[in-house]
Amino acid sequence: MNEPLRNLIEAAKKVQPSPSEIEVQRRSFAYGNTHFENEMITREMIDRVADEMADKQKDD
């Protein structure tokens, strides 16, 4: 592995994603896995369900 790439990898290990970045990644992961199994799943569906789940957690 060359030095510039090694430096980038080490820098990336120190990055702490924000809660909103984690949420975007979580939704992207959910979409990718569900759409793979069922092409009728849309990003909008994932967002709607994720928002409903977040609202329910606030109520609990």
What digits encode the pLDDT tens for the residues 28-52? Answer: 999 999 998 999 999 999 999 999 9
Within a 10 A sphere around the Cβ of 46, how many other Cβ atoms?
19
Average pLDDT, the chain: 94
- DSSP letter string over the chain? --HHHHHHHHHHHT----HHHHHHHHHHHHHHHHHHH-TT--HHHHHHHHHHHHHHHHH-
Tokens found for residue 24: 């975007």
Reported confidence tier of residue 20, pLDDT bands at 50, 70, 90: very high
Q: Which two tokens stand for residue 36?
A: 């793979």
Q: Are 24 and 31 in contact (CB under 8 A)?
A: no
* Domain map (residue ranges) of the chain: 17-59
